[in-house]
Amino acid sequence: MERSLAVLSFFAAICWSLQTLADESHQTADRVILGSIYTVNEGQPWAEGIALKNGVIVYVGNESDSRRWIGEGTEVTTLKQQMVIPGFHDSHAHLLIGVATDTECDLIRLESIAEVEAQLTQCQGLSGFGNAQWIIGSGWAPYLWPKAEPNKALLDRLFPDRPVYLSSSFGHSAWVNSKAMEVLGITADTDPGADGVVVLDPQTGEPTGTLHDAAMLLVKNFLPEMTEEHRLDSIRAALAMAHELGVTAVIEPGVDADILAPLVTLADRGELKIRALTSLSTINWQPGVFDDAIFELLEQRDQWRRPNIGVDSVKIYMDGVIESYTGALLEPYEGSNHERGPRFYSQAQVNRYFSRFDAMGLQIHVHAIGDAGVRIALNGYEAAQAANGPSNNRHHVTHLQLISEEDVPRFAQYNIGATFQPLWAYYDPAAIELDIPAIGAERTHSMYPIGSVHRSGGRINGASDYFVTDMNPLLAIEVGITRQDPYTNSGTPLNASEGVDLATMIKAYTINGAYTMGLEQQQGSIEVGKRADLVILDSNLFELKPYEISDAAVVETIFAGETVFKIDAP
């Protein structure tokens, strides 16, 4: 009997030792971060430490318990005045089509026509694309020209023998020269496509060189193809930029098979270190109207699905933009008794498309700028819900420059995400030079009603619409609070009552974005079991004045536990 007890005691000791070893192994993390952790988890908003293992968050809590996860080989980071938050989600950005490379003419962020001319002069040395040596570029600011309509004369002088195609920073207009129109046979009699505009000179009746919305396809569809390696390098550069800004997830609006191909290539090579939900469209990101061919594209979507690439979303435009008078308004533009902007689809068409997309289990990602465009979209969601019942497809509307007061509560009513670009919500040059002349001071002052939608119970998503504007979430978060110029911290706020608080803006760029991607159980807040997609900031945003938020900087971006961007300590 004593021998049996001794044997049992021996085996019990062995089991206890093995369990202790297992516990010690379990309590050893790959990395432990100690300091101010803002979790965006309402049940535990702040923590003193987190532990990461195999790309997943395995502990969130106080400092002493966090230290229990430190073992041999654990990387330990002790923050000082810094702050950890979940990785930023940009819910509408043209990021994965890439950024301009040194083979393209990059006009982004130029603040005068003189600067544009100087850059175009530099672009004369580009080798160009295709046999005709096309000069291709993007980024010119529409507010530099009256009614956002640059003239071909400048391009003709600099490029008399080479065709030129330059898309605007807003993405809804293109600037071309006479050679481009000659090569493609564009004249005053050319059909501009559904709701497209070929701008004509009022004196001569000839094209001026500005194309709006669908008319851009008259050139874009015939541009020379860029090489696969060029496209891959362009996307790599875009990913590096996103990581530098703390962006770890994005909804990419308007992609077709050609745009998806390099994304899939990078994903299969293990290089796509971002979570991406792609909104499919037969016209890719180009503004305009698609037809029933969209369903053929959607039926192919499973071939592009990857762990980091979602494909159950479709992009559709309701209208153009106010700055070119193609946004759909409930009341006429200034100086007009009848002009309210084009509707890209009838309400009946929208209802049909939305009901069918919703029944397919797809997220419907809508571009709507004017208050009429927003109403048409909301009516479409209402029709889909009536036809199919409530869904969990995470539909959302983006831009939302104007929303009728009576439509504001409908976002909460139908569980439709309101995806704003908060960085637009101040009196920027576009508002002053283009919006006020187009829609008047009163309507301009009411633009981007973020606070109203939030107070009515609507879900706010943060987005940049990069490359239209800067992708930096900290700039956008500041403006969402202050409604004021973040570069000068001065000027009249754009309806200060529409500002929201810091916590709301952080949610818009984290957990709300994750929800809209259908991934809120995996990311968007700092909780045990969620992905270790994190950002370390050089300051605690809650200790800053609102106008100081954009001065903060990303110190490190972590994707699935891996550092993908880091500023080296001095």
pLDDT at residue 285, rounded to an integer? 81
Helix or strand (DSSP H, E) at 358:
helix 347-359
- pLDDT value for 227: 83
Cα–Cα distance measured from residue 524 to residue 277, given in angstroms and rounded to the nearest whole number: 14
| 2-87+562-566 belongs to CATH 2.30.40.10 | yes
Residue type, position 141, single letter: A
User: Beta strand 164-168 with 135-140: parallel, antiparallel or unpaired?
Assistant: parallel
Segment 263-298, tens digit of pLDDT: 999 999 999 999 999 999 999 888 889 999 999 999
Distance, CA of 335 to CA of 337 (rounded, Å): 7
Residue 8 clears pLDDT 80, i.e. is over it: no
**pLDDT of res. 2:** 40
Give the distance from CA 152 to its chain's centroid: 31
Radius of gyration, alpha carbons of the chain:
26
Question: Given a cut of 50, is residue 440 above it in pLDDT?
Answer: yes
- Could you tell me how many residues make up the chain? 570
d(CA 246, CA 471): 10
Q: How many whole angstroms separate alpha carbon 369 and alpha carbon 348?
A: 20
pLDDT at 541: 98
Of 97 and 526, more confident: 526
Q: Is the pLDDT of residue 483 over 90?
A: yes
Q: Report the alpha-carbon distance of residue 473 to residue 468 in Å, rounded.
A: 14
> Rounded to the nearest 5 degrees, what angle is found at the Cα of 213, between the Cα atoms of 211 and 217?
75
**pLDDT at res. 103:** 83
pLDDT-based confidence at 96, cuts 50/70/90?
confident
Within the chain, all domains assigned CATH 3.10.310.70 are found at 105-220
Over the chain, what is the mean pLDDT? Answer: 92
pLDDT value at 7 more than 70 = no
Across residues 318-332, what is the average pLDDT?
A: 94
Cα–Cα nearest to 50, from 528, 533, 524, 523: 528
Q: Where in the chain is the domain with CATH 2.30.40.10?
A: 2-87+562-566
pLDDT at 15: 40
CA dist 11 → 8, 14, 15, 19 (Å): 5, 5, 6, 12
For range 410-424, the mean pLDDT: 98
Phi, psi of 531 (to 5 degrees): -65, 145
**Does the pLDDT of residue 411 top 90, yes or no?**
yes
Provide the 8-state DSSP code for 555. E
Report d(CA 309, CA 188) in Å as an integer. 43
Contacts of 457 (CB under 8 A, 6+ apart): 409, 411, 412
User: What confidence tens digit (pLDDT) does each residue in 506-545 have?
Assistant: 999 999 999 999 999 999 999 999 999 999 999 999 999 9
> How far, in Å, CA of 34 to CA of 380, rounded?
48
pLDDT of residue 43: 97
In DSSP notation, 389-451 reads ----S--EEEE-S---GGGTTHHHHTT-EEEE-GGGSS--HHIIIIIHHHHHHHHHHT---HH
Domain limits, CATH 3.20.20.140, in the chain:
245-531
CA dihedral 30, 274, 311, 385 (to 10 degrees): 90
- Separation between Cα atoms, residue 52 and residue 47, nearest integer Å: 14
The neighbour count for residue 3, using CB atoms within 10 Å, is 7
Answer for the pair 515, 251: CB distance below 8 angstroms, yes or no.
Answer: no
DSSP 153-207: HHHHHH-SSS-EEEEETTSSEEEE-HHHHHHHT--TTS---TT-EEEE-TTT-SE
Percent of the chain whose pLDDT exceeds 90: 82
pTM for this predicted structure? 0.87
- pLDDT band for 19, please (50, 70, 90 cuts): very low
* Residue 516, C-beta contacts closer than 8 angstroms, at least 6 positions apart: 89, 91, 251, 363, 394, 396, 417, 419, 459, 461
Q: What angle do CA 174, 175, 179 make, to 5 degrees?
A: 125
β-pairing, 173-176 vs 197-200, is unpaired
- pLDDT above 90: residue 99: no
DSSP code for 477: H
DSSP state letter for 111:
-
- Nearest alpha-carbon partner for 359 in 297, 426, 314: 314
Selection from 183-197, 213-227, 322-336, 370-384 with the highest mean pLDDT? 370-384
Nearest to 509 by CA among 542, 480, 545, 485: 480
What's 73's DSSP letter? T
Lowest model confidence (mean pLDDT) among 92-106, 242-256, 416-430: 92-106
Q: Does domain 245-531 have CATH number 3.20.20.140?
A: yes
Neighbours of 306 (CB within 10 A): 16
* pLDDT over threshold 80, residue 387: yes
Q: What is the pLDDT of residue 100?
A: 72
Q: What is the mean pLDDT of residues 383-409?
A: 98
CA distance 292 to 180: 30
Mean pLDDT value of segment 152-171: 93
Q: How many other CB atoms sit within 10 Å of the CB of residue 330?
A: 15
CATH number 3.20.20.140 is the correct assignment for the domain at 105-220: no
Quick one: average pLDDT of 423-435? 95
How far apart CA 387 and CA 555 sit, in angstroms, is 49
Residue 16 confidence class, pLDDT cut points 50, 70, 90: very low
Is the pLDDT at 25 greater than 80, yes or no? no
Look at residue 6 in the predicted model and tell me its pLDDT: 43
